[in-house]
Amino acid sequence: MTDLDKDIKDLRVLISEEEIQKKLKTLASEIEKVFTVDEDIYVICVLKGSVMFCADLVKHFNHSVQMEFIRISSYGNEQKSSNNLQAIDLTLPNLHEKNVLIVEDIIDTGLTARFLTDLFKIKHHPKKLAFVTLLNKKCARQIEIEPDFYGFEIDDKFVVGYGLDYKGYYRNLPYIGYFPS
């Protein structure tokens, strides 16, 4: 038994496991085209939310890949972006003149994407920087920013699954779901 106020039986599928897995292949080949063929890609997995997406996406890359992990929190336990970013761990190697791909789960207000993009440009001076997010909530944007690549555009609803949580739960679901209001 969990202490959740939401029950998994009420969860509706928004994007199926099959749709996600199919999308990853096309996304990976699009992304690879922007990087020079025989150079490493430094893939930056933004924890915790992008753990599933990032792990599955890199399996489709033909480039040699280095994986790095950073951790940021912006939602806390709520269903609304707090506008209050918490950088929990930003430890990274030297990425100067490297090919960098930031992998996010979802862009909502745009605050996290802006913070990360600025951080990498200003602090790391990569040779090439690209940003991919699985989900793009364009209609919720408070800051003008667009990813270089995204998997699916979704409405302004709170989603869970495939890495995305509600109060720490549901990250393990292989699909993206939502609780109808």
Should residue 58 be labelled a site residue for ligand 5GP when binding is judged by CB under 6 A? no
Q: Which is nearer to ligand 5GP, 29 or 86 (CB)?
A: 86
Helix, strand, coil shares of the chain, percent, nearest 5, are 25, 30, 45
Q: Residue 112 interacts with ligand 5GP (CB under 6 A)?
A: yes
- Write out the two tokens for 31: 């992304």
52 binds ligand 5GP (CB under 6 A): no
Which amino acid, one-letter code, is at 142? Q
When asked if residue 132 is in the footprint of ligand 5GP (CB under 6 A), the reply is no
Residue 171: Cβ within 10 Å count? 17
* 160 lies in the binding site for ligand 5GP (CB under 6 A): yes
Q: CB of 137: closest distance to ligand 5GP in angstroms?
A: 6
Binding of residue 45 to ligand 5GP (CB under 6 A): no
Q: Which of 109, 134, 150, 177 binds ligand 5GP (CB under 6 A)?
A: 109
**Residue ranges of the alpha helices (H) in 34-110?**
51-58
Q: Considering the complex, state which of residue 71 and residue 125 has its C-beta at the smaller distance from ligand 5GP.
A: 71
Instruction: Confirm or reject binding of residue 146 to ligand 5GP (CB under 6 A).
Output: no
- The CB-of-50 to ligand 5GP minimum distance in angstroms stands at 7
Q: Which pair of tokens denotes residue 73?
A: 């929190």
CA pair distance 114, 123, nearest whole angstrom = 14
- Angstrom distance (rounded) from CA 144 to CA 164: 23
Structure-token match 């789960």, residue found: 105
- Interface residue with ligand 5GP, options 31, 95, 101, 106 (CB under 6 A): 106
| Binding of ligand 5GP by 151 (CB under 6 A) | no
- Describe the strand order of the beta sheet including 41-47 as a list of residue ranges: 86-89, 65-73, 41-47, 99-107, 128-136, 149-153
